[in-house]
Amino acid sequence: MLITCPYCGPRDVIEFTYQGDANRARPDLHSTDQAEWNAYTYDRVNTLADHAEYWQHSGGCRAHLKLVRSTLTHAISSVEFARPHAGHKPSSRRKPGAST
């Protein structure tokens, strides 16, 4: 199985680490809704065919990626960076204009 990293190009799957199902959204970190957190932690869609999932190019550029891969054929139909999908908001503690 080859995964085409947007930075590094096509690389063998052994360079990558699977990070699981991308079909679930982490609840707001301040949420105390137990059912919501339980569902996020345990429940999976377990898709047959095209499956959205996270991988990290841990043996290469270390970028986090979001793939759409067929669970029947392993064919990968899209690869993109995970960041826009991760739902992280900038910390409110950070001062406006401070450098990262």
Partner 1 sequence: MAEYSVFSLLRNAFSATPDWKPAWRKPDPKPEYDVVIVGGGGHGLSTAYYLAKEHGITNVAVVERGWLGQGNIGRNTTMIRSNYLLPQNQHFYEHSMKLWENLSHDLNYNVMFSQRGCLNLANSTSQLDDFARRGNAMRHVGIDAELMTPQQIKAFLPALDLNIGGRFPVYGGMIQRRAGTARHDAVAWGYARGADRRGVDLLENCEVTGFLRDGDRIAGVTTTRGEIRAKKVAVAVAGHTGQLMKMAGIDRLPIESHVLQAFVSEGLKPFMDTVVTFGAGHLYVTQSDKGGMVFGGDIDGYNTYAQRGNLPIVEDVMSELAAMFPGLSRVRLLRSWGGIMDMSMDGSPIITAGPLPGMYLNAGWCYGGFKATPASGWCFAWTIARDEPHPYNAAFTLDRFHRGLVIDEKGQGSTPRLH
Residues that bind partner 1 (CB under 8 A): 1, 12-14, 18, 20-21, 35, 38-39, 41-48, 51, 53, 69, 71-74
Which CB, 26 or 94, lies closer to partner 1?
Answer: 26
Burial class for 9, CB neighbours closer than 10 Å (0-12, 13-18, 19+): exposed
Q: Specify the residue, 2 or 94, whose C-beta has the smaller distance to partner 1.
A: 2
Neighbouring C-beta atoms of residue 80, cutoff 10 Å:
12
Least separation in angstroms between residue 84's CB and partner 1 is 22
**Whole-number minimum distance, CB 53 to partner 1, in Å?**
7
| Residue whose CB is less far from partner 1, 45 or 88 | 45
Contacting residues for 11 by C-beta, under 8 A, at least 6 apart = 2, 3, 4, 5, 57, 59, 60
